[in-house]
Structure 1
């Protein structure tokens, strides 16, 4: 963090009309227990007041807010033989990533203690949580209304609203983000002045205000609209989409194409999907009257699954991003992080995303279906093409979807036939409570009705696997529904 930003931050804090619950000025009071209580109180008060951090500054007069300088040396301070900062870290629970910074302000030496707002639970010092009220630091439990407000305000860490680039100028924002694409995809007219541009970016939390009339670019803004992801930290740039195409059926085959995404997801999404569809082989399909060329994988399915991989990945998994691998007979789309719902229920249950702001904006821009209507359409497209059923597979720390190329019923594996039967029953049930029947499953597999016994055999195996059941036990021929229906 630059000294210039710290000086601007001090100036921003000094102009406040009085000390706030999350802000305190000191001259030279360096009592360790006082500092520990303040850490607890500032973290809790900052969360209640909607601030990212609380601050304690030494070298600022608490009455006039003038810079008077301080001799306090946080690095040299010791408590019972321990360094002050190590001692504080041991006394604060949950763990708090506080920092001390010594700032050479033009008017004197200032020491700043920055304490992040509480996130998962009230911050306690020596097992007691504190709060700031005026100039006092009472126990939080003595003020139940504030305790209740703090609990309501606590929320898990939201990766999208974290900071990708801090303390940048307006010119930097316009260079680092492809703001024109933001207005295009959100179908808003491009403002004719900078103030209007920043107002809209701020409203969607793609940027945030920093001190000294500068800006912060959020992870959401960078990941979606970065003109060049490499302009940001490696932890973010490594979340770029990677595409690998193999000339064969396994990873030992020759790699014919490799693409590492350079732009933010929104800026590069259309180009990526078009590029994939151009690379995918096409098969000749005989329709009712004409021959037509169809891609190996349905375009709608590819688009939806790529969007899902971007949206539902676990952003806290470092060094990994979505990966798309295309083989001779299948496409594998993998994203970091285990899914939040069971793989077999992904078709019917509404998606649960770790990244709600990202998901909402992607849907608003039309990159994916409305919530809860995506994967069922993928399966419907697969059925329309009479392809083997997609496989939803959980890894140790990843989620993978596999799309398969054309294969006849005879060439599908027993597991694929059972999975296709279950997915077909789910689609029928989602269509107004319809029931899967032998005839509908024959149509899904492309089985001649004269060979309907083949579909009957698959239905029996799906029942034995505990995936489907008879819809009405008193009328067994009425059809079948998913086991959870």
Structure 2
């Protein structure tokens, strides 16, 4: 599975396949009695669980059992590696002709995998259409576009949705990108991004780190950022500057900084790792986290819309705050 994922990436293929029930070389359909759901792996684990835990960083694959030409076929479908090799319990493999070999023996192929930069956000979701986008999010996007591009403000009203999204670079020749679904998609459209997870979770904890409340927020993130911020208790505090008798009122946290941190978590999340963005509120701090990974040799931005960061944890304390 590691070899197939890495080979698929090197060859620019959308998937890699492992097929049981078809003979090598001749491709004759012979059928199979192999049942992956009944097989046990090391430690008595079910085979799919063991495979999923061992394949890193994404562990993403699908299994299918079906009949073809009257014979039972079992097919494993794996996703290609993205910007780093896929390893199986620490070992990366690759296809060499019809054989499997360790990737470390092919340094040129390993370098090619590390140097590949796939802009996940710019990839087109083939199943998505304009109907999967929320109308209120589109209205908000148009308003923001007019503010950022005043020279085109007069033209925006005459654009239909397809034209506007192309101008805003959220679609590619009419194809709905992952970024468009994240920012403007209806809540139910998040399933189109699978196996990626598009969700922000707000958690409220007490001084003993016990959960008091929580809420999940799905797309459209362009609107739901404000709903996340509304859940954060940003109290008004009063300070008395030296040399005056008049107190100054301040919010406990700077709203602009909180919004910027949340925007960064959305933009720099590695959605392929299937993790969620978390906003954890405690009596004395806010903690923003997302998941991602640095490229080997340091992080270098390359994406037009979203970049991959290592696990980001930003902690805010009441004023004066620090990161």
**TM class, shorter-length:** 0.5 to 0.7
CA distance in 1, matches of 2:17, 2:135: 30
Report the number of matched residues. 279
Per the TM alignment, residue 47 of structure 1 is displaced from its structure 2 partner at its CA by: 1.5
Unaligned runs of 5+ residues in structure 1 are 1-38, 209-217, 245-249, 341-351, 361-396, 405-415, 424-485
Structure with more contact order per residue of length (Cα contacts < 8 Å, sep ≥ 6): 2
- 1:367-425 Cα shifts (integer Å, max 9, x gaps): xxxxxxxxxxxxxxxxxxxxxxxxxxxxxx95421133xxxxxxxxxxx8xx99xx9xx
Residue pair 1:41, 1:132 contacting (<8 A) in 2 also = no
Scaled by the length of structure 1, what TM-score is found?
0.38
Aligned twin of 1:55: 17
* 2:264 partner SS: helix
- For residues 263-304 of structure 1, the C-alpha deviation after alignment (integer angstroms, 9 at most, x for no partner) is 54322345766x589975486999xxxx9x9752398x3212
Q: Does 1:403 align with 2:318?
A: yes
Which residue, 266, 288, 294 being the options, matches 1:335?
Answer: 288
C-alpha distance in structure 1 between counterparts of 2:36 and 2:234, whole Å: 62
Question: Displacement, 1:335?
Answer: 1.5
Residue in 2 aligned with 1:267? 223
The Cα of 1:48 is off from its aligned counterpart by 0.9
Query: Partner residue of 2:152?
Result: none
Is 1:72 paired with 2:32? yes
Query: 1:322 maps to what in 2?
Result: 279
Q: Give 1:101 shift.
A: 1.1
CA contact (8 A) 1:238 1:319 kept: yes
* Residues 350-365 of structure 1 aligned to structure 2 (within 5 Å): none
Q: Is 2:251 aligned against 1:297?
A: yes
The answer on whether the counterparts of 1:160 and 1:358 sit within 8 Å (CA) in structure 2 is: no
Whether 2:187 is the aligned partner of 1:228: answer yes
Q: Which has the higher helix share?
A: 1
Matched, 1:173 2:165: no
Please tell me whether the aligned partners of residues 94 and 121 of structure 1 are also in contact (alpha carbons under 8 angstroms): no
Question: What's the counterpart of residue 45 of structure 1?
Answer: 7
Structure 1 counterpart of 2:95, from 115, 131, 136: 131
1:178 match: secondary structure: helix
Q: Deviation per CA, 1:240-281, whole angstroms, max 9, x where unpaired? A: 44689xxxxx879xxxx99875654322345766x5899754
TM-score between the two structures when normalised by the length of structure 2? 0.52
Q: Any stretches of 5+ residues in structure 2 without a counterpart?
A: 150-155, 294-298
Closer, same or farther in 2 for the Cα pair 1:202/1:177, shift >3 Å? farther
